[in-house]
Structure 1
Amino acid sequence: MRLLQALFFPPEQPGGVSSMIPYMQERFQSSRWDMEMFWLPKRIRNKGHEDIRFETFDWTEYGDSPTVQKYIQTYRDYLWWTKLRIQKPYDLIHAHHPIAGLAMKQVFPEVPLIQTIHSSYEKELILNGKIKADGPEHRFLGSLYRELELKSERMLTVSRSFADYLGAYVDHPERIAVTPNGFDEKRFKPVPHENDVPQLITVCRLVPAKGLDILLKACAELKKKGFDYVLHIIGDGPYRTELETLAKQLGIYNETIFYGYTLHPEEFMPFFDIFVLPSRAEAFGSVFAEAALSCLALVGTDVGGIAEQIEDGVNGLLVPPEDYMALGEALEKVITDPLYRYELARSAWDKAKSHYSLTHAVNELKKLYLQYSPVKE
């Protein structure tokens, strides 16, 4: 069976898709399966000039927005690149971004399309202050879900909570299936270690939606109470300068290390003790599964896919979003009690191995793909 995994970002980009799809490829290389990947290179800009039309809505109603114009131009570029580069036919296409799925279906209308929605671009833009709720950009991006529902044979997403979110935008929410991301268990190797000072780590893009301002305030409370710790922030983004300034204002800059973007944080994540990320929204939260496979204690917010990965007090701790005092108290529990911290980490590791391993994800996808296997005469 000839499979195409259609991405938007190149595989080396951070995020859930890049954590899974490149590592799936070797699991599919056999006499029965032939899987390839495709994406839009960063250098491809303003190449496409095709007239864009959708069947379920008129995008030109929102065409005055620069954000919408940029999205449409990227769609044109993806179409242009697809037509230029893909010559041979495939039996099935699995797309991991709305632009990828819509472009593939336009170029190859007879090929079955499975579409996975990994996250909400519009929700992220709203939380990051880039667009307004119910504004033209929000309505445009929300309309794409119904277009994807029409064009794809199967719609998937990565958590039950995000499936519920998508349900408001489509005609048949009951048809959306949930398939969590999978992570190559061979990449994550817990390392026995003892840190005299508890080491906290977070890995994310530095944008307001990730709630790192709340994390810094929580850490300031820990310092006020006299607890020793080091906070390692791995990632980069437009919010970095503000976060560094906030850390200085709160008097915790010396306890905080800003690394910038790192390609493979899983290589040294096992040497830390506690993973913490107080996101304001999260479709799945791939980095929690990665931290669990590294056998770290997990502390997160009770939102989206995070709350589906963590059972509070069993394999991690959950706190309300925006509540830095509650976050500080949760961190205090795992900082002051190493045995409790280990018990949470071990339970998180057990769940991640059984629910979020790449082996499990690949087996589930193979079952799904075989439903669309071409009939041999």
Structure 2
Amino acid sequence: MKILQALFFPPEQPGGVSSMIPFMQDRFNKRGWEMELFSLPKRVRSKGTEPVSFTTFDWEAYAGHPVVDKYIQTYKDYVWWTKMRLQGKYDIIHAHHPIVGLVMKQLFPDTPVLMTVHSSYERELILNGKIIANGPEHNFLTSIYRELEERVDQLITVSSSFKQYLSEYVQEPEKIGVIPNGFDEKRFRPVPHDNKVPQLITVCRLVPAKGLDILLLACAELKKKGNPFVLHLIGDGPIRQELEQMAIELNIYEEIIFYGYMLHPEDFMPFFDVFVLPSRAEAFGSVFAEAALCGLALVGTNVGGIPEQISHGQNGLLVPVEDVQALASALEKVISDPIYRYNLGRVAWDKAQNAYSMSRVVQQLKNVYRSYRKSE
């Protein structure tokens, strides 16, 4: 069976999906399955010129808005690049971005195309202040879900929570499959360590949707109460300067290390104690699974797919979105009690090994792929 994994970002780009797929490909290839990767290089911009049309809505009604125009041009670019680079035939195409799924079905109409929706682009844009809720860009992006349902052979998503979110925009939500992301157990593993000062870590893009302003405010509360800690903030983004200035004003700059972008944070993540990320929205939250596989205690918000990973009080702590005091209390609890922190991390590792291992996701995908192969 010849399978194409079609990505939007190149595999070397940061992010759970792009970093996960090459390791998944390696597992399949070692088991005798033929699997290729395909993506749009960053250098390909404004190359495509073919008209775009959808079957379930008229996208031109939203033309003239920057997000929509960029989306449509990227769609055209993906068509141009795919036609130029892909000449072979595939038994199955597994797409990992809405543009990719729609383009692949357009160009390979007789090939089963599976589409995993990994996140909500429109929710991130709203939270990051780029578009307004229920505005034209929002309505355009949510209309894409119905178009995907109409055209691809199978919709899959990464959490039951996100499946529920998608159900508002499709006609048959019960047909959406749920396969959480999988992670290579060899890349993420605990390391024995003993930190005299509790070490907190977060890994994310520095955007408002990740709730880092709430995290800094909570850290300021920790310092006021005399709790020692160091926060390692890995990632880059448009609000980095704003966050650094906020840390200075809150008198916690000396307790925080801003690393910027790092390609392989998993190389030293196991040496920390607590992973914390107070996201305002999260379809799955791959980095929580990665931190759990490193044996870290988890602190996250009760939103999206995060509660499907964190069982409150067992492998981590959940707090309400935007609640500074609740986050500060949760962090104080885990950093002040090393035994409690260790037990949370141990249970987190055990659950992640069972639920989010690459072996598990490979077996689930094999079953899905075989079902489409047999149906031909």
Say if 1:211 and 1:278, in contact at 8 Å, map to a contact too. Answer: yes
Range with bigger deviation, 241-250 or 10-19: 10-19
Tell me if 1:77 matches 2:83: no
Could you list the per-position Cα deviations for residues 17-46 of structure 1 after superposition, in whole angstroms to 9, with x for gaps in the alignment? 123211011111157410000000000000
Aligned partner of 1:166 in structure 2 is 166
Matches of 1:300 and 1:195, distance apart in 2: 22
State how far apart, in whole Å, the 2-side matches of 1:375 and 1:59 are: 33
| 1:125 and 2:109 are equivalent in the alignment | no
Query: Which residue pairs with 2:181 in the alignment?
Result: 181
Partner of 1:28: 28
Cα deviation digits, residues 254-276 of structure 1 (max 9, x gap) = 10100000000000000000000
Give CA-to-partner distance per residue, 1:313-370, whole Å, 9 cap, x none. Answer: 0010000010011000000000110000000000000000000000000010001100
| Matching of residue 368 in structure 1 with residue 368 in structure 2 | yes
Q: Unaligned 5+ residue runs, structure 2? A: none
Q: Deviation at 1:372?
A: 1.3
Partner of 2:296: 296
Whole-angstrom distance in 2 between the partners of 1:301 and 1:18: 24
1:241 maps to 241
Mapped partners of 1:358, 1:219: distance in 2: 34
Are 1:156 and 2:156 an aligned pair?
yes
CA–CA separation in structure 1 for the residues paired with 2:320 and 2:28: 40
Confirm or deny that 1:193 pairs with 2:158: no
The answer to whether structure 1 residue 312 and structure 2 residue 279 are counterparts is no
Partner Cα separation in structure 2 for residue 9 and residue 375 of structure 1: 31
Q: Deviations along 1:159-197, whole A, 9 cap, x unmatched?
A: 000000000000101111110000000111211000000
- Output the amino acid matched with 1:164: Q
Q: Distance in 1 between matches of 2:85 and 2:264?
A: 29
| Distance of aligned partners of 1:300 and 1:60 in 2 relative to their CA distance in 1, 3 Å threshold | same
What amino acid is aligned across from residue 306 of structure 2 in structure 1?
A: I
Q: Counterpart of 2:37?
A: 37
Q: Secondary structure at the match of 2:142?
A: helix
| Aligned: 1:99 with 2:103 | no
| AA partner of residue 318 (structure 1) | L
Q: Structure 1: any 5+ residue segments left out of the alignment?
A: none
**Counterpart position of 2:271:** 271
Q: Alpha-carbon deviation of 1:374?
A: 5.8
Is the counterpart of residue 341 in structure 1 residue 341 in structure 2?
yes
Alignment CA distance shift 1:342-1:251 (3 Å): same
Where do 4+ consecutive residues of structure 1 move more than 3 Å?
Answer: none
* Matching of residue 14 in structure 1 with residue 11 in structure 2: no
Which residue identity lines up with residue 56 of structure 2 in the other structure? T
Rounded Cα–Cα distance in structure 2 between residues aligned with 1:108 and 1:369: 17
| Aligned equivalent of 2:356 | 356
Mapped to 2, the partners of 1:9 and 1:109 lie a distance apart of 23
Letter in 1 for 2:372: Y
Distance in 2, Cα, partners of 1:314 & 1:27: 31
Query: Do the aligned partners of residues 31 and 361 (structure 1) sit closer, same or farther apart at CA in structure 2, a change above 3 Å counting?
Result: closer
Which amino acid in 1 is paired with 2:243? L
Contact 1:48/1:73 (CA < 8 Å) preserved in 2? yes
Instruction: Report if aligned partners of 1:19, 1:183 keep a CA contact under 8 Å in 2.
Output: no
14-23 or 52-61, which moves further after superposition? 14-23
What is the RMSD of the two structures over their aligned residues, measured on CA atoms? 1.0
Q: Which amino acid aligns with 2:295?
A: C
How many residues get paired? Answer: 376
Whole-angstrom distance in 1 between the partners of 2:337 and 2:318: 17
Aligned amino acid, residue 154 of structure 2: R
Q: Which residue of 2 aligns with 1:282?
A: 282
TM-score by length of 1: 0.98
Q: TM-score, normalised by structure 2?
A: 0.99
Contact 1:180 1:361 (C-alpha < 8 Å) held by counterparts = yes
Look up the SS of the partner of 2:288 in the other structure: helix
Code of the aligned partner of 1:2: K
Cα distance in 1 for residues equivalent to 2:91 and 2:31: 15
- The DSSP-based 3-state class of the residue aligned with 2:5 is strand
Q: In the alignment, which residue of structure 1 is the partner of 2:109?
A: 109
Q: Tell me the secondary structure at the aligned position of residue 288 of structure 1.
A: helix
> Once the two structures are superposed, what CA deviation does each residue of 1:46-101 show, in whole Å capped at 9, x if it has no partner?
00000000000000000010110000000000000000000110000000000110
User: Partners of 1:327 and 1:275 in 2: how far apart?
Assistant: 12
Structure-1 separation of matches of 2:311 and 2:190: 21
Q: Which residue does the alignment assign to 2:64?
A: 64
Q: What is the aligned partner in structure 2 of residue 3 from structure 1?
A: 3
> Shift of the alpha carbon at 1:236?
0.2
Counterparts in 2 of 1:375 and 1:312: CA distance versus 1, 3 Å: closer
Cα distance in 2 for partners of 1:153, 1:189 equals 36
